[in-house]
Amino acid sequence: MEYGIKLEVFEGPLDLLLYLIQKNNLDIYDIPIAKITSEYLLYLDMMKNLNLEVAGDFLVMAATLMKMKSKMLLPSHGEEEQDEDPRKELVRSLVEYKKYKEASKILRNNLETQKDIFYRNTSPEFADEDFGIEVTIFNLLDAFKVVIERSKKIPKEIIKEECTVEEKMKLIIRQLEGRQFISFFSIFESDETKRAIIVTFLALLELIKRGLAAARQDKNFGDIRIYGSKTIKI
């Protein structure tokens, strides 16, 4: 189903794997490949169904995980005990990438701190010290799944003309007017169909992509808050 918009996913397959490992409290050195593969494919399907532009690297990783899963399901033989763990290369890549991300975050925070020493004219919404933890597309997809599940309980009798993505963007901006932030779930309160929910979600992603809104959590995997700028205009 087309929604008149196509958004690029800037996070990569290693970001998704690290997200799933953290979300499920898994040991990065002993990854349950069957579980992680199933969840990875679930997120991949969700992104495709939302018409998100998924990089080829996601598909390559999906194939790699499925091959690894098949290999680990094969019965082991005594003479092959010295064979390398098929997860070894993946674990190495994940550990290195995690270190890189952590180092990048520290560097970015240091640069922001230095910048704040010289510049004090940052937008109030985005400069607030309680702004929270940055949210990824995968956090947003998890919250989106909750909204979809809730929508299954909504009666389908009342159907009104639904908004476009651009119209929904304007509605979200109106909700943000006069407020520092709003709850992620509040932007879906007027949606009566699954299609309307998807349009609202895509509108939010587009606002974030344009730098007109930001999504944050007060703690990892906590409630998502949407922040906007007082000067937003579309």
Do 14 and 102 sit in the same domain of this protein? yes
Percentage above 90 pLDDT, the chain: 53
Which residues form the domain of 214? 128-234
- Identify whether 203 is part of a domain: yes
pLDDT at 111: 73
Q: Measure the CA–CA gap between 57 and 37, rounded to whole angstroms.
A: 15
Do 227 and 144 sit in the same domain of this protein? yes
Tokens linked to 130 = 């309680």
The mean pLDDT of 106-126, rounded to a whole number, is 59
128: left (phi over 0), alpha (psi -120 to 50) or beta: beta
- Identify whether 79 is part of a domain: no
Side-chain half-sphere CA neighbours of 165 within 13 A: 17
Do 162 and 115 sit in the same domain of this protein? no
Do 151 and 69 sit in the same domain of this protein? no
The mean pLDDT of 105-109, rounded to a whole number, is 80
Output the DSSP codes for 34-90. HHHHHHHHHHHHHHHHTTEE--HHHHHHHHHHHHHHHHHHSPP-GGGTTSPPTTHHH
- Identify whether 184 is part of a domain: yes
Q: Hey, what amino acid is at 224?
A: I
Q: What is the pLDDT of residues 130-148, one digit of tens each?
A: 567 889 999 999 999 999 9
Q: What is the average pLDDT score of the chain?
A: 83
Do 138 and 224 sit in the same domain of this protein? yes
pLDDT at 2: 53
Do 197 and 96 sit in the same domain of this protein? no
Regarding predicted confidence, which is higher, 116 or 54?
54
Do 141 and 211 sit in the same domain of this protein? yes
CATH number, domain containing residue 186: 1.10.10.580
- Identify whether 69 is part of a domain: yes
- What residue spans of the chain are helical by DSSP H? 13-23, 33-49, 56-73, 88-118, 124-127, 137-151, 165-176, 194-209
Q: Hey, what amino acid is at 165?
A: V
Residue 168 has pLDDT above 50, yes or no: yes
Residue 81 has pLDDT above 70, yes or no: no
Do 40 and 111 sit in the same domain of this protein? yes
In DSSP terms, 182 is beta-bridged to 226
Do 20 and 116 sit in the same domain of this protein? yes
Residues 6+ apart with CB under 8 A from 189: none
Grade residue 85 by pLDDT with cuts at 50, 70 and 90: confident
Residue 158 DSSP one-character state = -
Contact between 125 and 2 (Cβ < 8 Å): no
Do 98 and 177 sit in the same domain of this protein? no
Do 2 and 110 sit in the same domain of this protein? yes
Q: Measure the CA–CA gap between 49 and 158, rounded to whole angstroms.
A: 25
Residue 217 DSSP one-character state = E
pTM confidence score: 0.81
Do 68 and 105 sit in the same domain of this protein? yes
Q: What is the pLDDT of residues 50-67, one digit of tens each?
A: 989 888 999 999 999 999
The radius of gyration of the chain's CA atoms, rounded to the nearest angstrom, is: 21
Residue at which a domain ends, from 61, 92, 121 = 121
Contact between 232 and 212 (Cβ < 8 Å): yes
Number of separate domains in the chain: 2
Residue 215's H or E segment, with its range, is: strand 213-217
From first CA to last CA, the distance across the chain in angstroms is: 25
